[in-house]
Chain A
Amino acid sequence: MNLFRKSPWIIHYDGASCNGCDIEVLACLTPRYDVERLGIINTGNPKHADILLITGYINEQSQPVVRTIYEQMPDPKVVVAVGICASSGGIFRDCYNTKGGVDSTIPVDIYVPGCAARPESIMDGVVQALDLLERKRKEKKTRRRAIAPTPTSEVPTP
């Protein structure tokens, strides 16, 4: 365990949901569930965030916003799609104004099931996101190490 390991910060974006998952995400922050004890803080600034929680499906209006938030977040980052609507479009996928799940716009790492997703499963998704974030961070580090001594590593390859 690294002493200087960063506490992961979360940004929550409501794509276009029915509110069910939103209030459950909010309920995660309140005393009964309290994800903040895992060192997680809900931030409003995408440049501070490591984990992007998205509820609801994507439509014409929210697509550019989601894309911008994703691009503004620093690497490594993890995207968690909360609820069925965010995963696939769910019950509303046949509607004329929807474009489908979050993965139609940005790559998604973790899908949280449920309609509405229960706080327990949202927290499970967030904890998985923490592990994945750590893995991505290590990968990035080893890649950097692998790239750094380029002259020597290039010798054996023909």
Chain B
Amino acid sequence: MNAPAQTYSEIAPERLLEAANAQRAAGSRLVQICCSRLQHFELLYSFSRPHTIEHLRICIPDSRVALPSISSIYGGSFAYENEIHDLYGITFTGMNVDYQGHFFRTAIPAPMAVPPVCAAPAPKPNKPQPQKEPT
């Protein structure tokens, strides 16, 4: 198996632009941006070069923290940023294309921002999810 080595490193939110610039200078390609809702919000920016994939991890305590957009560096990142904004409610400042929350039109705003029910040690989650609204 000659899979590329994957490395994870955690950076502070304010160092994001600087790190993205460094990746760009090294010739990396933006693979994806992934947001996870744990007890906090965790964003993973993945950059790939032919033989490595680097993941930059950014942790923010809640969705009111605005993050800088990297779309001035990677023009294609607006799709991921708008998606995260619509599903998690995190704001990105300075996006090159801003859909103002109309990229994913969901029935309920920021549906993925609800913390996971099974993150607690109890193995069987029986809590009803607020998935359906009465019409």
Contact = CB atoms under 8 A, between A and B. Distances in A.
Question: Do A and B touch (CB < 8 Å)?
Answer: yes
Interface of A: 59-61, 94-100
Contacts of B106: 60, 96-97
A44 B130 CA distance: 36
Nearest to B104: A97
B129 interface: yes
A60 B107 contact: yes
A96 B105 contact: no
A114 B17 CA distance: 49
6 contacts: A60-B105, A60-B107, A97-B106, A98-B131, A99-B107, A99-B132
B108 interface: yes
Interface of B: 105-108, 111, 129-132, 135
Interface of A is mostly: loop
A59 B111 CA distance: 14
A62 B66 CA distance: 32
Interface of B is mostly: loop
A18 to B, nearest CB: 17
Contact of B129 (A61, A94, A100): A94
Contact of B111 (A61, A94, A96, A99): A96
Nearest to B131: A96
Contacts of B105: 60-61
Contacts of B135: 99
Nearest to B130: A96
A94 B130 CA distance: 10
Given A96-B108, A96-B131, A96-B132, 17 more contacts: A59-B107, A60-B106, A61-B105, A94-B129, A94-B131, A95-B131, A96-B106, A96-B107, A96-B111, A97-B107, A97-B111, A98-B131, A98-B132, A99-B107, A99-B132, A99-B135, A100-B132
A122 B108 CA distance: 34
Contacts of A61: 105
A92 B130 CA distance: 14
A60 B132 CA distance: 11
The 3 closest A-B pairs by CB, nearest first: A60-B107, A96-B131, A96-B111
A97 B129 CA distance: 12
Nearest to A89: B132
A104 B130 CA distance: 18
Nearest to A60: B107
Contacts of B130: 96
